[in-house]
């Protein structure tokens, strides 16, 4: 309700401004300063090299982040804090010998643990999506952070 009111006020002001000072309209509303947009592939390459890898590995059957995983995630968090304009999706995988639905849950859990740690390090939660591939795709026993935009 408050937003609508503000917007209404803004329009009224703009209307009156236009009536009194026609020249102002030409410039249009102030453009927000855009960050220099890089192609997504270049961003992904930069993310992968500067964060020490996109992938964290788990030992079979659990979702516990070991020291190597924490090292990778620390670097990922630092990079993501510098790039608040990107959104990433963490895709968790289960283990090869597991049954289908348990693997799905473990994959989701692995993605969620990685996400929680990144949020703990100050990455906005809105910046990170999660999903799970269970054992339905090759690449078991890990969670991969993928830049989506």
**Footprint of another protein on this chain (CB under 8 A)?**
63, 89, 97-102, 104-106, 108-109, 112-113, 116, 129-132, 134, 136-138
Q: What is the rounded CA–CA span in Å between residue 34 and residue 20? A: 31
The DSSP bridge partners found for residue 64 are none
Shortest distance (Å) from residue 30 CB to another protein: 35
Question: Is the Cβ of residue 30 or residue 126 nearer to another protein in the bound state?
Answer: 126
Tell me how far apart the alpha carbons of residues 33 and 5 are, in angstroms, rounded to a whole number: 26
Which CB atom, from 50 or from 99, has the smaller least distance to another protein? 99
In angstroms, the CA 140 to CA 119 distance is 24
CB of 76 to another protein, least distance (A): 18
C-beta of 53: minimal distance to another protein in Å? 19
- Name every residue whose Cβ is closer than 8 Å to that of residue 26 and which is 6 or more positions away in sequence: none
């Amino acid at each position: 309700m408050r937003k609508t009111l503000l917007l209404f006020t803004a329009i009224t002001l703009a209307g009156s401004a236009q009536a009194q000072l026609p020249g102002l309209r030409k410039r249009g509303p102030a453009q927000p300063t855009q960050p220099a947009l890089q192609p997504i592939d270049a961003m992904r390459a930069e993310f992968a090299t500067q964060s020490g890898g996109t992938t964290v590995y788990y030992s079979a059957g659990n979702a516990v982040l070991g020291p190597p995983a924490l090292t990778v995630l620390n670097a990922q968090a630092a990079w993501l804090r510098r790039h608040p304009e990107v959104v990433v999706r963490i895709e968790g995988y289960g283990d090869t010998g597991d049954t289908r639905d348990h693997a799905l849950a473990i994959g989701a859990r692995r993605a969620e643990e990685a996400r929680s740690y990144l949020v703990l390090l100050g990455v906005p939660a809105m910046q990170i999506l999660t999903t799970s591939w269970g054992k339905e795709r090759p690449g078991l026993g890990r969670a991969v952070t993928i830049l989506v935009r």
